[in-house]
Chain A
Amino acid sequence: MKRLSRYRRHKAAAPLLLVIALLAIGTTFSVASATVKQSPTTFARSAAIDEGKQLFLKGCSSCHGLNAEGGAIAPSLIGVGAASVDFQVGTGRMPMADMSTQAMRKAPVYNAEQTSALAAYVASLAPGPAIPEDSVLNYERDGNTAEGGELFRNNCAMCHNFAGQGGALTQGKYAPTLMGVEPKHIYEALITGPQSMPVFSDKTITPAEKLSIIKWIKAAEKEPNLGGASLGRVGPVTEGLLGWILGLGLLIGVAVWLATKAR
């Protein structure tokens, strides 16, 4: 799988990719529905696509167009791939509640089955990045925390902050916090580049390196506070605020007590 994905952007590999994508969707679908353990039949696949299309027409087409060709306020979804759909819908970003701000993480509107149907439908329009399989996502086994930290600081920290807490972008956009994001969704974001985020190609950051990044993020998420309350892990701003309010505040409080005459 790893070797295959290296040549994913190769023109000749496009049909192959489609098959892989469909296989992946099928697998996810079967896991989600937990009924069929075998590879899905062609019938099941097209049923998922049909169901996805129905969901799409109802919930997405008003912005993305009847054939996902995009519109004035929403991009075309042709060729974005199943991974993109799984990320956007699976993290609740799509459908968007409020068009004025950037799509934010919230409780998903569609359940797992519906999400994979939507993904199957969008993936059927044109080839694009597939949803990574669970076997690919074994970051505990295949990742390296220290290496992941270095990659994170090189490629992610500038937007998501040194501890993955998120940060500001231009014009009110922001890089969201990475705490509590599913590994699959982090992986999908890296390969699809949702919203403001750029794409991180498998050649410049290999799948193994991506797993290292995920492992580091998960380690940062689990890391207990070693030196006291974390103050949001956003650096010196909250530290200064606490120093003035709690530190100097307490000292002035005692000074006032010290200077008042006892009864």
Chain B
Amino acid sequence: MSNEIEAIQDPGLPAHVHREADVDPIAEKRAERQVAILFAISALGTLLLIYSYVFVPQDLFIFVPVMGDQNAHQLGLGLGMAISLFFIGMGAIQWARTLMPDTEVVAHRHEFRSPENEREDFVKTVKERAGTAGLGRRSLIKKSLGAALGLSALTPLLLLRDLGPVPSKELEKTSWKSGTRLVTDPGNRPILASDLEVGAVAQVLPAIAEGTERALSDIGKDAVLLIRLRPSDFQLTPEKFAMTHDGIIAFSKICSHMGCAVALYEQQTKHLLCPCHQSTFDVTRGAKVIFGPAARPLPQLDITIDSEGYLIARAPFSEPVGPSFWERNSQ
């Protein structure tokens, strides 16, 4: 198409236009002064930095409009550094723009592809060299090399094996056992059923022996949220209802989607919301997912009270808590 029709012609590089500083000595002096001033501002910035580091106490706060109360030490250091660096750059660029040569230079490009004969020769050589190694013919060598390379890739996999233990049943277990008391988090105080009003929530963990410490990995599976509703609010199957106690229902706080703590309980709607990905669970229907990406309800903990009236777990969780994994039997 464009071959047949005559195209508009390239007028070639436009003529060079001189800058003021190129032709006018006064402008040149002015440009020189501008660059020097920019560098001088940079020096002032460094002085501000040194002053702030040495003389401004770290707990001094000053009021800055728009930004509010600011730490003078941090602000002085930062602004000093910013000014000192920024104006070195400005000076250098202004120097290049006004005083260094600004005539556009043309350099030639060559096509990367070598001349036809050279390239053909090269391709031929590669083929020949490969041929002398007999890559195509000696299939036994090729296959055994492939197998050896493939096997050797197992080495790093093997050596990385001791990074951690195998999961075995770890992901399916929590510290909750039949009879474990529910205690407040933080505080570790046992909870009477009567401690919770209707509409109340409590963050709880399983009781631990006096003097022992909780590992974070235990909290990551054990955290439970207690919610008290009116028993008439529930729309649960008889089995699930039997797992509640006097309107108190307990759910794993670890989201069944990606393991964030689900604890945004809305008292009026009785919905639980996960702040990470906005999965919404309906507490009255056993934490059924009503919105968002989670695919399973939060596991419910079977609770009752012991002889002293404190809330305890009647049984451990009947399913693994937290996000899904391949070995999880979710049926």
Question: A interface vs B, CB < 8 Å?
Answer: 9-10, 147, 150-151, 154-155, 158-159, 167, 169-171, 173, 175, 193, 195-206, 209, 224-230, 254, 257-258, 261-263
Contacts and interface: CB of A to CB of B under 8 A. Distances in A.
Contacts of A205: 184
A169 B61 contact: no
B93 A204 contact: no
A151 B89 CA distance: 49
A152 B31 CA distance: 59
Interface in B180-237: 184-187, 189, 191-192, 194-203, 227
B195 A203 contact: yes
B102 interface: yes
B71 A226 contact: yes
B264 A159 contact: yes
B74 A151 contact: no
B137 to A, nearest CB: 58
Of A10, A167, A170, A257, chain B has the most CB atoms within 10 Å of the CB of A170
Interface of B: 17, 19-21, 31, 61, 66-71, 74-75, 78, 89-90, 93, 97-98, 102, 184-187, 189, 191-192, 194-203, 227, 261, 263-269, 271, 273, 275, 278, 280, 291
18 contacts: A9-B197, A158-B275, A170-B266, A170-B278, A195-B267, A196-B267, A199-B201, A200-B200, A200-B201, A203-B191, A204-B184, A204-B195, A204-B200, A226-B71, A227-B74, A229-B68, A262-B102, A263-B19
Contacts of B19: 261-263
A10 B194 contact: yes
A170 B21 contact: no
B267 A158 contact: no
A170 B227 contact: no
Contacts of B271: 170
Contacts of A254: 89-90, 93
A224 B72 CA distance: 11
B97 to A, nearest CB: 4
Given A193-B199, A201-B202, A203-B195, 16 more contacts: A151-B186, A169-B264, A170-B273, A171-B269, A195-B267, A198-B201, A199-B267, A201-B196, A201-B200, A203-B191, A204-B189, A224-B71, A228-B74, A228-B78, A261-B97, A262-B102
Nearest to A159: B264
B292 to A, nearest CB: 9
B307 to A, nearest CB: 19
A166 to B, nearest CB: 12
Contacts of B66: 229
Given A154-B185, A170-B291, A262-B97, A224 B266 contact: no
A238 B202 CA distance: 32
B216 to A, nearest CB: 14
A206 B97 CA distance: 69
B20 A263 contact: yes
A95 B189 CA distance: 39
Given A201-B200, A209-B187, A227-B71, A158 B261 contact: yes
B147 to A, nearest CB: 48
A224 B194 contact: no
Of B191, B203, B227, B261, chain A has the most CB atoms within 10 Å of the CB of B203
Contacts of B89: 254
B200 A199 contact: yes
B265 A198 contact: yes
B78 A201 contact: no
Contacts of A173: 266
A226 B74 contact: yes
Of A150, A155, A201, chain B has the most CB atoms within 10 Å of the CB of A201
Contacts of B185: 154
Contacts of A257: 93
A198 B71 contact: no
A159 B194 CA distance: 26
A193 B197 CA distance: 10
Q: Which 7 A-B pairs have the closest CB atoms?
A: A203-B195, A224-B69, A199-B200, A204-B202, A196-B266, A198-B201, A262-B97
Nearest to B104: A261
Contacts of A204: 184, 189, 191, 195-196, 200, 202-203
Given A193-B199, A196-B266, A261 B78 contact: no
Contacts of B93: 254, 257-258
B269 A225 contact: no
A215 to B, nearest CB: 16
B201 to A, nearest CB: 4
